[in-house]
């Protein structure tokens, strides 16, 4: 947009904020679930970006540190509404989970426990299974799976992820596989230039500066999601500094799982328990600051990648790996989310609705959350 389009820019920014606020409020289940929600709403429904751009974005953020879902929101927001959209997308996506994590942190400090929230996920998880499975199918089709080696790579990554191979290792191998395939094609066609490639209550009371330093480091080194965050925070907060206990860390991780949005809600919760409201605010900002800085350069980086065949091929391989990981995560979701015939029926029903109306993922997740709460209420009164 140009400077003459300021009213249109403001409308687009407001639209970005509202869309990602809703996605953030319903993003239970981590980055894989959020990928499905963003794809359904932004690609299929609003058509803000096309399938190819979404695949490139998914591949790029999968190898960057920080919360992938927030990075997606920032990039798409900038594509839609410029720099204001960049901020609006990231902030809106973070806001619901951060607010809820702060509230839970206040309850934890006062009462030594958090309210039971897992019942909400009873209805949400089977819907997330359907949404992620549907997203995997659509993304895999867009990635030209009829070529045997591409389909084989996605399948191999999915199987390896399910049996426990590290996600970043799989993405790295997939990227190298894409690069190797490109080099083989280049060698066959004798194109010049290939030879130029170079392969309860916290036990510590930290000051806010120390707290900010720890979580800034965690945000900069966060590759691979919640398990990596747990390891980073355990080393810093439990082992090295003794600010919290193992039990308190596990409570914080649980809060990150049952609140919508990124698992970094764990950081907001810990920020409150260690530093009150100022701690929650500072930690929420610094833990995502590296992602904001990295994504500020994402547009030029994507253009650079697309300008070089070898970089394009590497990103293609990473993207195929990311789809494979998403498929593996869907299997894991199925194991934990479909626990009885009722949740199985919910997953099947959601899948059928997505087949008829692919852009309905947000509504389905909201309906799943309502179903879980109604079931809890029924059990309470019966």
Burial of 361 (0-12, 13-18, 19+ CB in 10 A): buried
- Mean pLDDT (the chain) is 78
| Residue with more model confidence, 20 or 262 | 20
**Taking residues 92-104, what's their average pLDDT?**
88
**Taking residues 47-70, what's their average pLDDT?**
81
Token pair, residue 354, equals 């997505």
What is the pLDDT at residue 112?
A: 65
User: pLDDT tens digits, residue range 219-258?
Assistant: 877 765 555 566 677 788 888 888 888 778 767 776 776 6
The C-alpha angle 149, 154, 160, rounded to 5 degrees, equals 120
pLDDT bin (cut points 50, 70, 90) of residue 199 is very low
User: pLDDT tens digits, residue range 312-325?
Assistant: 777 777 777 777 87
| Residue with more model confidence, 75 or 141 | 75
The whole-angstrom separation of Cα 136 and Cα 283 is 33
């Amino acid at each position: 947009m140009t400077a003459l389009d300021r009213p249109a820019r403001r409308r687009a920014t407001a639209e970005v904020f509202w869309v990602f606020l809703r996605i953030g409020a319903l993003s239970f289940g981590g980055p894989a679930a959020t990928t499905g929600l963003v794809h359904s709403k932004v690609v299929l429904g609003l058509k803000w970006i096309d399938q190819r751009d979404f695949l490139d974005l998914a591949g790029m953020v999968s190898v960057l540190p920080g919360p992938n879902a927030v990075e997606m929101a920032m990039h798409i927001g900038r594509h839609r509404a410029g720099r204001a959209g960049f901020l609006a997308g990231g902030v809106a996506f973070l806001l619901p989970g951060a607010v809820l994590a702060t509230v839970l942190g206040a309850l934890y400090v006062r009462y030594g426990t958090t309210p039971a929230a897992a019942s909400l996920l009873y209805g949400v998880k089977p819907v997330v299974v359907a949404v992620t499975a549907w997203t995997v199918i659509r993304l895999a089709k867009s990635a030209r799976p009829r070529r045997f080696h591409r389909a084989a790579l996605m399948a191999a990554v999915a199987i390896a992820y399910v049996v426990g191979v590290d996600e970043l290792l799989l993405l790295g191998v997939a990227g190298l596989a894409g690069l190797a395939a490109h080099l083989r094609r280049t060698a066959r066609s004798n194109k010049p230039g290939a030879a130029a490639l170079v392969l309860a209550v916290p036990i510590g009371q930290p000051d806010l500066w120390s707290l900010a330093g720890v979580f800034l480091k965690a945000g900069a080194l966060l590759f691979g999601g919640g398990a990596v965050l747990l390891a980073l925070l355990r080393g810093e907060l439990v082992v090295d500094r003794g600010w919290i206990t193992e039990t308190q860390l596990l409570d914080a991780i649980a809060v990150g799982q049952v609140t919508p949005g990124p698992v970094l809600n764990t950081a907001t919760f810990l920020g409150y328990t260690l530093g009150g409201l100022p701690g929650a605010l500072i930690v929420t900002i610094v833990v995502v600051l590296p992602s904001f800085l990295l994504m500020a350069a994402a547009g030029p980086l994507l253009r650079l990648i697309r300008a070089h065949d070898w970089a394009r091929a590497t990103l293609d391989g990473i993207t195929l790996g990311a789809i494979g990981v998403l498929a593996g995560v869907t299997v894991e979701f199925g194991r934990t989310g479909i626990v009885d015939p009722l949740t199985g029926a919910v997953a099947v029903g959601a899948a059928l609705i997505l087949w008829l109306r692919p852009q309905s993922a947000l509504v389905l997740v909201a309906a799943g959350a309502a179903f879980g709460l109604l079931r809890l209420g029924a059990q309470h009164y019966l």
